[in-house]
A = this chain, B = another copy of it.
């Protein structure tokens, strides 16, 4: 019951990811990690805030990490640095 479950933030609507988080908690997860890169970082924060505040279910932010990842561009083959975030939610 203590394994880590992750939700990767992409281009879908915010509510999809909020529901994904809430479902993981509902299914017995105690720690859910929201991960995002680049422009999706803002959306990751939205997801965490909505999961915590609108659905007042005792979910809290346990920790937040930021980092830099190297991403190879498919078009140019260049390696770019992209910021990333990991938001750890616990119940």
Contacts and interface: CB of A to CB of B under 8 A. Distances in A.
Contact of A42 (B53, B83, B87): B83
A83 B61 CA distance: 14
User: Contact size class for A?
Assistant: 20 to 34
Given A41-B42, A42-B41, A42-B42, A68 B83 contact: no
Nearest to A47: B83
Interface in A39-55: 39-42, 45-46, 48-49, 53
Interface string A77-89: 0000101110100
8 contacts: A38-B42, A40-B42, A41-B42, A41-B45, A42-B42, A49-B68, A49-B83, A64-B64
